[in-house]
Amino acid sequence: MAKGFVFATPVVVLILLLLFYAELCRASTIGVCYGRNADDLPTPDKVAQLVHSILPYYPATKITYITVGAEITENPSNVSALVIPAMQNVHTALKKAGLHKKIKVSSTHSLRVLSRSFPPSAGAFDPKYAFFLKPMLEFLAENESPFMVDIYPYYAYRDSPTNVSLDYALFQSSSEVIDPNTGLLYTSMFDAQIDALYFALMALNFRTIKIMVTETGWPSKGSPKETAATPDNAQTYNSNLIRHVINDTGTPGKPGEELDVYIFSLFNENRKPGLESERNWGLFYPDQTSVYSLDFSGRGAVDITQANITSSNGTWCIASSTASELDLQNALDWACGPGNVDCSAIQPSQACYQPDTLLSHASYAFNSYYQQTGATDVACSFGGTGVKTNKNPSYDNCLYMTFGATRVLQIM
């Protein structure tokens, strides 16, 4: 399975950086795993700048989960007995710091922790892992932490293409797979695997534990026999995944259930062993150019390249005159709220209040966010409601900010 981090000791702590889409802060979220198993990756400060440019809707990264170990059942060394005590120690430390309600502790698992996953209603944990799974599940339930799992429909298709259709693996199936025990209909392998885990949890009477997908994705390149590992398929899988998650579709077994998902991975990693696909799961090449277009808003593709994260003087960002009032209002509310834009200038009696129109106020707020985050192309997206212009939109005493006038320091 794809591994997101390099481990120097049997049990170590991973910090998952959750990349919030602003409108979803109370619903499902999408994040990206930052794998570093390579010797040609950009320096951490460059990565921070890059991560910021795929975040046009929220200019901060929040630490929300700590995982202790990763896919420990896949480790040839028997370290599983150490995981629960380590999780308890980390939780105790967080509690002393007053952070245990904000930062949850868990451990990631391979889907092979299940002995059976089809049909989903027959999902069951492998009995050989019961000695550590039971106390772990009790810990998760007590502390309201999620069960973390890495899910890869790609491998299921690659290893058994006669039994799994490519469309079913890519969220594109026009036919349905029926669970004979429940009558539930499945159009994607992802949903079927998630429900198999929920049924396995319910079989052990753990009905309140939520599931978090800590790794999933699709490789953009593979060896000659890995014909499904292409940029088009990777873009299709991840785009459909994002749309599926942020719409809070849920699964057939858990309709409307919120689900947090991390896409693997931020970069291609040239030191990973195995077939060619193992080194090509990234959204970006080491030079920070995008492997394919991907938009975390779920509204369309945005091509993020090295040029997109280069400062651009002499341009401004304004609201599109063709955008709907609802979209403009949502974008304006975000910019003046989570976007950290100082919107005092568009308040009554202030310099940019007149004309008192949604288009004018949104233009001022959009430009302020655009400039203070480095005047990047993506920072003027606002879900398609922002457009760049070379004409200075300033008027009378209302002065629109330009890049370099103000910078906001953000710790990623």
Question: Do residue 187 and residue 272 come from a single domain?
Answer: yes
Q: DSSP string covering 292-331, please?
A: S---TTSSS-----GGGGS--TT-EEEE-TTS-HHHHHHH
Residue 333 lies in a domain: yes
Question: Do residue 320 and residue 273 come from a single domain?
Answer: no
The CB density around residue 350, as the number of other CB atoms within 10 Å, is 13
Segment (H or E) for 87: helix 80-96
Of 10 and 30, the one with more pLDDT: 30
Tokens describing residue 144 = 């309201």
Write the CATH number for 275: 3.20.20.80
Tokens describing residue 397 = 């005493």
What integer is the mean pLDDT of 70-85?
74
Question: Do residue 274 and residue 326 come from a single domain?
Answer: no
Type of residue at 409: L
Question: Do residue 334 and residue 195 come from a single domain?
Answer: no
**Residue range 374-408, pLDDT digits in tens:** 777 778 888 889 999 998 898 888 888 876 443 22
For residue 46, the model assigns a pLDDT of 60
Tokens describing residue 30 = 């999408």
Q: Which of 23, 71, 74, 176 is catalytic?
A: 71
For residue 49, the model assigns a pLDDT of 57
Q: Is the pLDDT of residue 64 over 90?
A: no
**Percent of the chain having pLDDT more than 70?**
77
Question: Do residue 113 and residue 260 come from a single domain?
Answer: yes
Q: Is the pLDDT of residue 19 over 80?
A: no
For residue 284, the model assigns a pLDDT of 86
Final residue before a domain boundary, out of 260, 284, 308:
284
Residue 398 lies in a domain: no
Poorest-confidence range of 2-6, 136-140, 189-193? 2-6
Segment (H or E) for 107: strand 104-110
For residue 13, the model assigns a pLDDT of 32
The CB density around residue 392, as the number of other CB atoms within 10 Å, is 13
Residue 84 lies in a domain: no
For residue 249, the model assigns a pLDDT of 82
Question: Do residue 188 and residue 328 come from a single domain?
Answer: no
Contacts of residue 139, defined as CB under 8 A and 6 or more positions apart, other chains included, come to 84, 87, 88, 91, 145
Residue 140 lies in a domain: yes
Instruction: Quote the domain boundaries for residue 367.
Output: 316-389
Number of folded domains that form the chain:
2
Contacts of residue 396, defined as CB under 8 A and 6 or more positions apart, other chains included, come to 351
Active site residue 215: yes
Q: Which of 74, 138, 176, 215 is catalytic?
A: 215
**Residue range 155-193, pLDDT digits in tens:** 999 999 999 999 999 999 888 899 999 999 999 999 999
For residue 268, the model assigns a pLDDT of 87
Final residue before a domain boundary, out of 284, 301, 328:
284
Residue 121 lies in a domain: yes
Averaged confidence pLDDT in the chain: 79
Is residue 137 within 8 A of residue 204, CB to CB? The reply is yes
Q: DSSP string covering 150-181, please?
A: E--HHHHHHH-TTTS-HHHHTT--SS-EE-TT
Question: Do residue 342 and residue 276 come from a single domain?
Answer: no
Of 252 and 79, the one with more pLDDT: 252
Question: Do residue 142 and residue 192 come from a single domain?
Answer: yes
For residue 403, the model assigns a pLDDT of 61
Is residue 59 within 8 A of residue 341, CB to CB? The reply is no
Is residue 383 within 8 A of residue 297, CB to CB? The reply is yes
Question: Do residue 237 and residue 370 come from a single domain?
Answer: no
Question: Do residue 191 and residue 266 come from a single domain?
Answer: yes
Tokens describing residue 319 = 């609201």
Of 67 and 171, the one with more pLDDT: 171
For residue 1, the model assigns a pLDDT of 44
Q: Is the pLDDT of residue 12 over 90?
A: no
Residue 44 lies in a domain: no
Residue 49 lies in a domain: no
What integer is the mean pLDDT of 252-262?
90
**Residue range 99-137, pLDDT digits in tens:** 888 889 999 999 999 999 999 999 999 998 888 889 999
For residue 383, the model assigns a pLDDT of 82
Task: For residue 18, give the 3-state DSSP assignment.
Answer: strand
Report the C-alpha dihedral over residues 263, 269, 274, 278, rounded to 10 degrees: 30
For residue 231, the model assigns a pLDDT of 94
Question: Do residue 279 and residue 359 come from a single domain?
Answer: no
Q: How far is CA 220 from the centre of its chain?
A: 18
Question: Do residue 145 and residue 209 come from a single domain?
Answer: yes
Residue 21 lies in a domain: no
Active site residue 144: no
86 pLDDT band, cuts 50/70/90, is: confident
